[in-house]
Structure 1
C-alpha cells in the first residue's frame, strides 16, 4: 500500500471513529443515567476507551470498503466510457466501410474496364458488372461460361502460356486477342494478367475494349500497305517509262552521232542532224532529271564519298558545256584557288550540282561570260569547299529568289516558255547539297546576271596514283569478237555501226535463249547483254551462261547494256553475274572504253 492510500484511509477514518465514540458515550449515558438511574454504573473513561478500541478497526474497515466501492464505481464508469467510445468507433468504421462499399460498388458498376479474380484452380472468383457492357453477357451468364468460351483456341493457348510465366507479386503481362460477344460480333480486348503477392495464388485480370484502337491500327496498316503498293507502282512505272524512253533515244542519239561524224553530209544536213542530236540530248536530260528527282523524293539518294580533286571536277564540268557556250559566243572561265586539296566527298554528285549551275548559266546567258570559282577553307583535317558559277545573263527578279530552288520552278512562265526545261535541276541540286549537310544559294540582280553557289564540308584526302590502262584502245586492227544480245533490231544495227570501224567483230542474238546458245557454240571476248527481252531476259541468260561456264573455271566478261539504270536494277545485274553496266542511250565514247577495257579479259568464275 502506498503512502497516499494510507493517508487517505487514516484521515478518512477519524470522523467515523469520532462519530462511533460519541454514539457509544451517548448510549452509555442514556442507559445508565436516564433509563436505569444508576450513576455508579456510568464510566465514561472506560466506555471511551472501549469505544475507541472497537471503533478504530471498524472505521478503518468501513473506509476501505467505501474506497473499494468508489474504485469499482470509477472502473465501471471508465469501462462504460470505453465501451461507449468503442461503440462510437465501431459506428464510425461501419459508416466508413459502408461508404467505401458504396463507392466501390459505384466504381465497379460504372467501370468501362472489366476486373476479374481467378482461383489457382482456374475458377472465376469475381467479375465486375462491366462485363455486360463489354460482352453483352449478364454477370451470372458470364460467371457460368467456360474460360475459353469467347476466344479462339490459339488465343486461349497463347494466354495460358503467358499466365504460366507469371510470378507472384511480379510485373503484369498483357495480351491482345479477339473476343466474340453474345450477339456474335467480334471485338478486340486488351488484358493485363498478374498474380497477387499475398501467397493466395489468385490471378487478377483487367480487360478493356480496344476495338476502336485496333481498327485504327488496322486502318493505318492498310493505308501503309496501300502507300507502299502505290510507291511500288510508282517505282515500277518510273522504271518502265525510263526504259521505254531510253530505248528509242539510244537509236536516235546513236545514229545522230554517227551521221554527225559522217563526211558525206551536206552542210544543211549536218546542221539538221546537229539539231536532232541537241534535241535528243535535251530530252535525255529531262528523263535523267525526272529520274533523279523521283529517287530524291523517295529518299533513295545514297552518297558514295571517295577522294576527288575539286579543281579537276570544275575543269571537267566546264569542258562538258564549253561546246554549247562557244556556239552562243560565251566565254567560260575556271578560277580555282591555289593549293586546292583533294577531299573525301561524293564527287560525282557535286559535279552534278556544278553542271546544273553551268547548264543554267549557258541557257540563260545571251552574251558575256560564265565564271566557275572554287575556294577552300582548311580546318584541321577537314575543309569547307565553296563552288560558285557567275553569269552575265538575265538575272532573277527579287520576288522569285525565295522559290528558285523549288521543284518545277523557274523565274516565271514566260521564262519557261522562252528557255524550256523541267525546272528540276536546281531542286535536285538543293537536295544533293542538303543531303551532304551543306548550304546552297543564289545572289542575283535582274538584268545583270546571277551567282549560284554551294558550300559543303568534308575531310581532306589523298588521291590514289592513277592506274595504268587495263586494255589498249580499240583501233581498226583490234580483232575483238563480241556477242551482242539485244532484242531491238535498230539498236543491234547501231552498236554494229559504232563498233565495226574499230575492228570489232559483232555477232548478234535477238533474245536470251539465242544468246545462251551462241555462247555454247562459240567463243567470244565480251558479251553485251540487254536485260528486258522476250523469251528469256538478260538476267536469266547471264545465270545460265555462268552455270554453263562454271565447269571451265573461267568466264567471259558480260556487260549489261540496258535502259534499266535505277540503282536497284544495276545491283540486280551485278548479282546475276554481270561484270559491268552500260546505260542507254549509249554514249559512243563510253561504249568504246567499255569494250576496250573488258575485251580479251578473263577472270576466275
Structure 2
C-alpha cells in the first residue's frame, strides 16, 4: 500500500516528469534541427514517449529518495531530541543527586545525634561527623578507636548482650550508659540499636548526648532524697513535739483530775480546778488536731475498713458532746431510721468526722438544739451513707462557705477571737472523707444555723457478736497488785502513785531502762508500766532486754507502754518491741485503772 507520505509526494513527481519530457523534446529539436540541420530526424512524439518512459520511474525514484532522506532526517532529529531529553534528564538526575548528597552531608555535619553503621563482624563502616561534637574525637580518630575505649567493662558487656538479642528487621533496643570524652570528662549517652532487614545484617546505632537530662534526673533523685529526709525530720519533730507537749499535760491534767475528785476543796477551788481541766483538754485537742492534720498532709492516713453500725456510731458521738451541750442548755437528738444496715467502712474515722461536726455545733450554738441525722440509700450490695449535723447556731455567711473546709480557716477573724480553735477540724474531716472517695459540704443561713454533711459509699456488712472478754475484777483497796513503773519524770511517777495508791496497788519505780531491767531481774511484779523516751536506756530497749531475760522461764510479765508517743507507727513500734498494750499520755485515770485491772496478775506465753 502506498504510504500517506508517498501519496503526499506524488503530485510533486508529475511536474518533474513533464519537465524531463519537455527537456528531452527541446534537446531533440536543438540537436537535429538547429545543430544537425536535419528536420526529418526530429521526432517529438517518439522523443516524448521515450522520455516519458524514462522520466516517470526516475521521478518516482527521486521522490522515494527524497522521502528516505526526509525519514532519515526525521529519525536523526528525533534521535537528537531524545538524546537531548536523556541528557537533560541525566543532568537533572545528577543535579538532584548532588542536592541529595549536599542535604545528606548537611544533615550529617549538623546532626546532634551520632549515627554509626557496623558490619556483622563488628567493624565500623560509617560514623557521622557529629561524633567529634559529642566525644571530642575526630572522625578519623574515632573510626580506629577500640569499642571498649569509651565505656566501662560492665556497660560494654551489658550493651553487647543487648545487641546479641537483636533480630534483622526486628524492633530496636535502647540502652543508657556512661561514656567518657577524649578529655576524660564523663557524659551520658542513650543509644538505639537495630539491625537492617535487607539481608546485610548491618547494625545501625543512633546515639545522643543525654548528660543534661541525666543530671536533671540525678538532681531530682537528690531532691527526692532531701524531701524524704525533710519528711523524716518532720516526722521526728512531730514525734518529739508530741512527747514534749504531752509530758507536761500529763501532770497538769492528771493532778487536776486528782484535785477535782478531792473532797477537801472549796467550791471556788473546785470550780477553778475544773477550769484548769477544761483548758488542758482544749490544749490537748489542739495538739491532737495539729498532729493529725500533719499526718494527713503527709499522706499518712491509712483506712482500716471494718463492719460497724452507723446508728451506734451516731449515738456514741452524740453522747460524747452531750454533757457540754446540756451545760449550754442545748438538746442533742439523734435521728437514725431502724432500717439502717451495718456497713464495711472505717467507722472510727467517720466517728472523728461526725464528732468534729458535733463539737463545732456545740461551740457555735448558743440556744436551740443539735440534731444528728443519718440516712442510707441501698444499691445492691453497697449503700451510700449520709450523715448530717444540724444546729441552730450563728450560721455561715455565703462568702465564707467555700473556704470553711480549708486548713486554719474559720468564718472570719471575729469568730476565731470569740470562739477560739485552730480551724483544723473541718480540714481534717474533708481529707478523711475525700480519702474515702466521698463528698462533704455545708448548707447554712447566717444567723439561723448550719447543716454539715458527708456522703460515703461502701459495701453492706454483717455485724458479728463481739467475743466476751474475761471478767476483770475491779481494783479495790485490798487488790494487792505489785506494779513496777519505769519512768524518768519524777512528776509523772508521783502522779501515777497518787492515782493508784487508793486502790491497793504496791508501786515501785525505776527512773530509766537500766534500772527497770535490774528491778525485773531482782523481783517479781504483776505488771510493768514502761515509758519509752528515757535517758541511759529507752523503754523499747529495756522491754527487749526483759523479754530476752524472761525467755527461759516460758512466761513473761505484762508490759504496758505508758508514753506520750501516740502516733500509730509509734504504737506499732512499742508492740513490736514486746509490749502487750499501750496507754497514751496524758493519763486518763479511768483508763489507767482499767488497764491495771485488765493486765495485773496475768501471765502469757513468752
TM-score normalised to structure 2 length:
0.83
TM-aligned CA deviation for residue 280 of structure 1: 0.8
Q: 2:202 aligns to what?
A: 202
Map 1:408-447 to 2 at 5 A. 408-436=408-436, 437-446=438-447
CA distance in 1, matches of 2:502, 2:81: 128
TM-aligned CA deviation for residue 598 of structure 1: 2.4
When structure 1 is superposed on structure 2, of 69-78 and 403-412 the one drifting more is 69-78
When structure 1 is superposed on structure 2, of 434-443 and 378-387 the one drifting more is 378-387
Cα deviations by residue, 1:545-581 (Å, 9 ceiling, x for unpaired): 2223333333332222211111211221222222222
Q: 2:219 aligns to what?
A: 219
| Partners of 2:475 and 2:593 within 8 A in 1 | no
Map 1:113-152 to 2 at 5 A. 113-152=113-152
SS where residue 290 of structure 1 aligns? helix
TM-aligned CA deviation for residue 218 of structure 1: 2.1
TM-aligned CA deviation for residue 81 of structure 1: 7.9
Q: 1:374 aligns to what?
A: 373
**Does residue 272 of the first structure (1) align with residue 272 of the second (2)?**
yes
TM-aligned CA deviation for residue 214 of structure 1: 1.9
CA distance in 1, matches of 2:548, 2:456: 47
| Partners of 2:169 and 2:197 within 8 A in 1 | yes
| Partners of 1:333 and 1:369 within 8 A in 2 | no
| Partners of 2:318 and 2:372 within 8 A in 1 | no
Cα deviations by residue, 1:408-440 (Å, 9 ceiling, x for unpaired): 111221221222111111111121222222323
**Does residue 395 of the first structure (1) align with residue 403 of the second (2)?**
no
Cα deviations by residue, 1:441-481 (Å, 9 ceiling, x for unpaired): 242322x3333222333333332224323241422133333
Q: 1:231 aligns to what?
A: 231
**Does residue 261 of the first structure (1) align with residue 261 of the second (2)?**
yes
| Partners of 1:190 and 1:207 within 8 A in 2 | yes
Map 1:447-486 to 2 at 5 A. 448-476=448-476, 477-486=478-487
TM-score normalised to structure 1 length:
0.84
SS where residue 148 of structure 1 aligns? helix
CA distance in 2, matches of 1:320, 1:539: 34
TM-aligned CA deviation for residue 93 of structure 1: 3.4
**Does residue 406 of the first structure (1) align with residue 428 of the second (2)?**
no
Map 1:10-159 to 2 at 5 A. 89-159=89-159
Cα deviations by residue, 1:253-296 (Å, 9 ceiling, x for unpaired): 11111111111112222112111111111110000000111111
TM-aligned CA deviation for residue 78 of structure 1: 8.9
SS where residue 349 of structure 1 aligns? helix
SS where residue 155 of structure 1 aligns? helix
| Partners of 1:396 and 1:445 within 8 A in 2 | yes
Map 1:358-373 to 2 at 5 A. 358-366=358-366, 368-373=367-372
Cα deviations by residue, 1:369-406 (Å, 9 ceiling, x for unpaired): 33222232341453333322233333322322221111
Q: 2:49 aligns to what?
A: none
Q: 1:177 aligns to what?
A: 177
The count of residues paired between Structure 1 and Structure 2 equals 596
SS where residue 312 of structure 1 aligns? helix
- Structure 2 CA distance for partners of 1:547 and 1:79, relative to 1, 3 Å: farther
When structure 1 is superposed on structure 2, of 93-102 and 352-361 the one drifting more is 93-102
CA distance in 2, matches of 1:194, 1:456: 54
When structure 1 is superposed on structure 2, of 230-239 and 149-158 the one drifting more is 149-158
| Partners of 1:318 and 1:332 within 8 A in 2 | no
Q: 2:312 aligns to what?
A: 312
CA distance in 1, matches of 2:445, 2:282: 26
SS where residue 176 of structure 2 aligns? strand
CA distance in 1, matches of 2:336, 2:362: 23
Q: 1:547 aligns to what?
A: 548
CA distance in 2, matches of 1:98, 1:402: 70
Q: 2:570 aligns to what?
A: 569
- Structure 2 CA distance for partners of 1:374 and 1:473, relative to 1, 3 Å: farther
| Partners of 2:315 and 2:334 within 8 A in 1 | no
Q: 1:300 aligns to what?
A: 300
| Partners of 1:471 and 1:598 within 8 A in 2 | no
CA distance in 1, matches of 2:176, 2:260: 72
- Structure 2 CA distance for partners of 1:372 and 1:503, relative to 1, 3 Å: farther
CA distance in 1, matches of 2:180, 2:148: 11
| Partners of 2:395 and 2:445 within 8 A in 1 | yes
Q: 1:45 aligns to what?
A: none
